[in-house]
Amino acid sequence: MTKRILVVEDNDLNRKLFCDVLQAGGFSVEPCADGELAIERAKAFVPNLVIMDIQLQDISGLDLIAGIKRDVELRDIPVLAVTAYAGKGDEERIREVGAEGYLAKPVSIGPFMTAVKGLLEGNPPHPLHA
């Protein structure tokens, strides 16, 4: 069965790149440019993975991840956070709200697909070691 991935990214180029790479990898992809609609779209699409930009224009990706993890229907869906914020402590904060994976932009295709496949197979990338 084809794995389903929701891509929440408000940057048109990034969203298209992620979707194109994932579709080329054989995944069914649902793009979502509006963070305000992300949880609604997740409930309708029922993804196996959510790729979440952290810096959305209308809502924080951190708030969306926390909302997904609080929702009974969605909480078991792994989340891969992708962000241009790669400062000290950012990965830790992102993981604390519930993201199972984290990648800093600019994202290289190899590590991106490795993270996606790992999360879909239940093998998340190694967490930050404190």
| All domains of the chain in start order, with CATH | 4-120 (3.40.50.2300)
Tell me, what's the pLDDT at 126? 53
Tell me, what's the pLDDT at 123? 75
Mean pLDDT for the stretch of residues 84-108: 89
Instruction: Give the sheet arrangement for strand 101-104, strand by strand.
Output: 28-32, 4-8, 49-53, 79-83, 101-104
Tell me, what's the pLDDT at 130? 33
Task: List pLDDT tens digits, range 14-42.
Answer: 999 999 999 999 999 999 999 999 999 99
Mean pLDDT for the stretch of residues 67-78: 97
Mean pLDDT for the stretch of residues 91-105: 94
Mean pLDDT for the stretch of residues 78-101: 90
Q: Is the pLDDT of residue 90 over 90?
A: no
Decide if 102 contacts 71 (C-beta within 8 A): no
**pTM of this prediction?**
0.93
